[in-house]
Amino acid sequence: MNKFLQNILIKNNLIDSHGNITSDDGDKFLKSISDALDEREREYEEMQAEKEKLKVILDTTPCTISWLTKDMKYGGVNKALADLTKLKSEEFAGKEIGFYTVNKRFYNFADSLFQSKAPTIYEELESQIDGGDKQFWVTGTKFDNGNQGVVIGIDITELNSMRQHVSFTEKLSQLGEMVASIIHEVNNPLTMIRMQGQRLEKLVDKGETEKILQASEKIVNTCDRITQIIRGVKSFVRQGDKDPKQVIALKDIVDDAKVICDGKLKDSQVSMEILESEEVQVNINVTQMFQVFVNLITNGCDAVEGLDEKWLKLGWEVGDDKIIIKFQDSGRGISEEVQKGMWGSFFTTKSVGKGTGLGLSLCAKIVEEHGGKIFVDNNQANTTFVIELPQG
């Protein structure tokens, strides 16, 4: 006998717990069965309504949702994932996870989920879907004693694109603050070149070879400085995130960063010293790391603006397996409260018009992508930012 029906009959004292009939009232017996069937029908209708409601919620949720089994197959997906892949939802059931992509990143994520001791894992994934590159923030959670899982993906492609746009806007904002100083830095050498050129004409007429050579050397050195400034500006505004890494002398990057900041340093009356440090080669994305150094120098310059003593120092040393770069300014440290938030996007302590607060969050992201880390050394008397990069 059906368990549900049996419980109804027992409840109405028509049978006992062993299934024996305890009443010969046929009408009551039939009514009990009819009531039981009506109740079951109501429960079924309610269940169908809840199921339909759940389907509407899942299909209108602007996230991709998929149900997975431990044998790396799809149990089902919502409309968002089906629409994204231009497939029908029913085409997923029983198929291998990530069958619609050209790589195995979703498959590997699911495998990591089922292999993990944690019930939930998170990851940012990039995949190619329908011929286009997409980025997702993905979370996976296991259930059914780890035999099944549900994966929710948020498409962050446009967000990342906006993040890059805002990053570029921040660079333009910083560059705008430095433009007048940069023009001054270029204009002075050009004036010197013109003066030396006029002097050369006179020296040639007099045949003073040694003085001609000295004047020529000054012109060449000045041209090199202008080239360095222009190179710095170009490096600062370009995105560079897709540039390959290359091996380069750390001092060259530091020198270029200082040159583009020289005007700001002079305007703010901040002295900057590059400490004598060991010659070291770094394997980096030159454009991105240059931008990190410029960010830290300009931030340091702004930080000490209101102090009586205004200076910056930059140096580095080589550890067992890492290169340690230190940016120090004459400030007396950063409060714990500020340190908690300063690595986040849009956090700033600067006044209006002095940047969007993206500097440190971008610095941290770039350094982490190089396998390193950036932090504040609170054991120093003065404010000290430290970058640690792996050697080689």
Q: Report whether 361 contacts 345 (CB < 8 A).
A: yes
Which CATH number applies to 61-155?
A: 3.30.450.20
pTM score, whole prediction: 0.46
Which is more confidently placed, 125 or 229? Answer: 125
Amino acid present at 303: A
* Structure confidence by residue, pLDDT tens digits, 313-330: 999 998 888 999 999 999
The domain locations on the chain are: 3-50, 61-155, 161-390
* Structure confidence by residue, pLDDT tens digits, 15-70: 666 666 665 555 565 666 666 666 767 777 777 777 676 666 667 777 888 889 99
Return the CATH superfamily for domain 161-390: Histidine kinase-like ATPase, C-terminal domain (3.30.565.10)
What's residue 156's pLDDT? Answer: 75
The total number of residues shown for the chain amounts to 392
| In the predicted structure, residue 112 carries a pLDDT above the cut 80 | yes
Average pLDDT across the chain, whole number: 76
Which residues, in sequence order, are CB contacts of 156 under 8 Å at separation 6+?
Answer: 124, 135, 136, 137
What's residue 113's pLDDT? Answer: 92
Residue 266's SS3 state is helix
Task: Output the CA–CA distances (angstroms, integers) from residue 218 to 222, 252, 320, in the order listed.
Answer: 6, 21, 42
